[in-house]
Amino acid sequence: MKTRLGRFSFLVKDPLTTIATVMMSIFIGAAIFGPWIAPFPKEGAGETNVDNIYIGPGWHHLLGTDELGRDLLSRIIYGARPALLIALAVVGFAAIIGTLLGLIAGYRGGWIDNVIMRVSELFLSFPPLLLSLVAVTFLGPGLVNALIALIISWWPWYARLIRVEANIVRTKPYVEISAAMGVPDRIIIVRHILRNVTTPLIVQVAADLGTVILAAGSLAFIGLGAQPPAADWGLMVAQGRNLIFDQWWISTFSGLAIFLAVLSFNIIGDALRDHFDPRIARQ
Amino acid sequence: MRILWNRLSSALLVLCAASFITFTLARVIPSDPALAYIGPKATAADSAKLRITLGLDQPIPVQYVKYVWQTLHGNWGYSLSTKQPVLQEIIDRLPATLELIFFAMSFAVIFGVAMGVYAAKYRGRFQDSVIRIMAIAGVSMPAFWLGLLLQMLFAGRLTWFPATGQFDIDLKYDNPITKVTGFPVFDSLITGNFAATINGLHHMVLPALTLSAYSFGLLSRMARANLLEVMSQDYIKVARAYGLSERLVFFKLALRNALPPIVTVTGLSTAYLITGTFFVEQVYNWPGIGSFAVNSLLSIDYPAIMGITLLAAIGYLVINFIVDLIHAKLDPRVWMR
């Protein structure tokens, strides 16, 4: 019996994936309901409390307090929203831009294919993340600019992925017959090609979400991403950096949030890939 | 030979384009490079004069041709923050970074491949799960955070390793390193200055470990997956049916054929290390390209940024080129294509 929910059974297929699913649910919950579940919502939002600075982890403040006396757990819970939003936005926009260009390149072929592929190759001729770092520097530091900079270096992967898939589907007999019968390109692209590239697209998106959280955290850590007083994990690691030997909890727990979020997304990405591509799973 | 020629010409094309992208980013997007050069307090007249001196009044294509011409002649401009020639800064700092990458990569390749092979051998068992978790943790770990954790634990609490820097500060008085190749640890070794070698290696452990985490994860995953794929093929079954020893089948037949994809991933993860050094060097105060890059980015030192970006693109090309060469060596069919 395959129920609607049964489709998602791969999320609990083994203990590791189950743990990852639970962790991801916690992060999503924190992103949505942050202000209601944070123990000190005002401090999470940025209100300082200078009487309480550098309190170690304990009963009152589970993860301690930071350099402005704010409850660290509340700050981390507030940080979930920007982290997940930036991941969704970067991967979403990159996937949309890349899919559009990839479909055009793969379906049309010819010179337009050449142009799109050469341009995407160009973007990929830099080591990963370098182009984003340079772009955000010249755009000016900040969360939105970091987002734009990450999209700039992420779309070519999608364009190339989709182009390959579109190229394969294009030469299938049923697509050629549809074209010969006079079905408009627009409909062939949406009905046949787009539908056939959905699976690799979903797998790629799932695999990329964690990587984007990591990349955004890295930008924030060196000061090119979110700016104070934002509750941003990468930024919080940077703020606790010089205190690592004494007030160790600030950087440790903020970084742990990044690590666990990326880890759970990566594990679920793996599970999703195995689910859709049983050839790899068997190995 | 043809493939070599093709590679080289496409590499040239990529370099041209890469220089164009860096140039465009630096010239078109920022508010005003002249302003970045003399600071916000400059008068309008000063900035106009400087625009002429820097050639910023000329049309963009002319500027680009000039930029390429000067770059080819070794004039990479002057860093705005250190006022030194960018190329000189890069040459001075590159050895420290290359040594760091070398140690990180060696660690990642040796342990990553070994773990991957081990996991493949014990597929589905307890060992396999442990290595799988380690590998996925490695690729999910923010390098800057891992660096801070290792510092706190091994430098702060346990004091086994120094927290920052490339050598002890008093080393340059006690055992100064004679400069031969410019690579500090290597130089100390060939000049017989073993006190400095040991000191340098001692400082190398934490940064190299931090930098290698990602590559380690990537490599052990790929090694495992590729080995299992090869192991499931017919010729392995035939070899087993003929009664060849399991050790011979595994190491001689399977591992040999799983190598090409492992080489590809090694190249790819070395490329990741290029940007990885930015964060690791920042955390460990490593006097290399990475920390120079971060400082340049933060101070919008555009000549330095352009130089570093170009260098990174060249590095990326060289890595890909080496990967292709090794591929051709491992798999002679590559030459036929």
Task: Say yes or no to pLDDT of A281 above 50.
Answer: no
Residue A116: closest CA among A136, A192, A176, A124: A124
Nearest residue in chain B measured CA to CA from A248: B152
The highest-confidence range among A183-197, A209-223, B195-209, B222-236, by mean pLDDT, is: A209-223
Establish whether this prediction's ipTM goes over 0.85: yes
How distant, in Å, are the alpha carbons of A3, A143, A260 from that of A58? 45, 32, 21
Residue A235, pLDDT score: 92
CA of A206 vs chain B CAs: smallest distance (Å):
14
Whether a cis peptide bond, with omega within 30° of 0, leads into B85 is no
Alpha helices in chain B (DSSP H): 2-28, 33-38, 44-53, 60-72, 86-121, 126-140, 143-150, 171-174, 184-190, 194-231, 234-241, 246-247, 255-284, 289-298, 302-330, 333-336
What percentage of chain A exceeds 90 in pLDDT? 30
Residue B334, pLDDT score: 62
Residue from A122, A130, A267, A268 to probe the interface with B (highest B Cβ count within 10 Å): A130
Q: Is residue A48 part of a domain?
A: no
Q: How many structural domains compose chain A?
A: 1
Q: Is residue A64 part of a domain?
A: yes
Residue A1, pLDDT score: 46
Task: Say yes or no to pLDDT of A95 above 90.
Answer: yes
Compute the distance between CA of residue B147 and CA of residue B149 in angstroms, rounded to an integer.
Answer: 5
**Tens digit of pLDDT at every position of chain B (337 positions):** 666 777 777 778 778 877 777 777 766 655 555 666 666 666 777 777 777 776 777 777 888 888 888 888 888 888 888 888 989 989 989 999 999 999 999 999 999 999 998 898 888 888 888 998 999 999 999 999 999 999 989 988 888 888 888 887 777 777 777 777 888 888 888 887 888 888 888 889 999 999 999 999 999 998 898 888 888 888 888 888 888 887 888 887 888 888 888 888 888 888 888 899 999 999 998 999 999 999 988 888 888 888 898 888 888 888 888 888 888 788 777 655 4
Q: Is residue A1 part of a domain?
A: no
CA of B298 vs chain A CAs: smallest distance (Å):
7
Q: Is residue A32 part of a domain?
A: yes
- The size of the A-B interface in CB pairs under 8 A is 131
CA of B291 vs chain A CAs: smallest distance (Å):
10
Compute the distance between CA of residue B11 and CA of residue B32 in angstroms, rounded to an integer.
Answer: 32
| Whether B233 contacts chain A with CB within 8 A | no
pLDDT in tens, A231-266: 899 999 998 888 888 888 888 999 999 999 999 999
| Whether A129 contacts chain B with CB within 8 A | yes
Q: Is residue A226 part of a domain?
A: yes
Residue B135, pLDDT score: 92
Q: Is residue A68 part of a domain?
A: yes
Residue B220: closest CA among B127, B321, B316, B326: B127
| Whether B294 contacts chain A with CB within 8 A | yes
Q: Is residue A77 part of a domain?
A: yes
Query: What is this structure's pTM?
Result: 0.89
Give the mean pLDDT of A164-190: 84
Structural domain of A97: 13-41+56-277
Contacts of A262 in chain B (CB under 8 A): 140-142
**CATH for A126:** 1.10.3720.10
| Whether A137 contacts chain B with CB within 8 A | yes
Task: Say yes or no to pLDDT of A202 above 80.
Answer: yes
Token digits of residue B176 = 């100064």
Report the C-alpha dihedral over residues A214, A218, A221, A227, rounded to 10 degrees: -80
Compute the distance between CA of residue A109 and CA of residue A165 in angstroms, rounded to an integer.
Answer: 13
Contacts of B149 in chain A (CB under 8 A): 252, 255
User: Residue B329's CB: how many other CB atoms inside 10 A?
Assistant: 12
Residue B18, pLDDT score: 75
Token digits of residue A101 = 């260009």
CA of B292 vs chain A CAs: smallest distance (Å):
12
| Whether B145 contacts chain A with CB within 8 A | yes
Token digits of residue A32 = 């949505």
Residue in B225, B229, B316 nearest the CB of A126: B316
Contacts of B279 in chain A (CB under 8 A): 218, 221-222
Q: Is residue A268 part of a domain?
A: yes
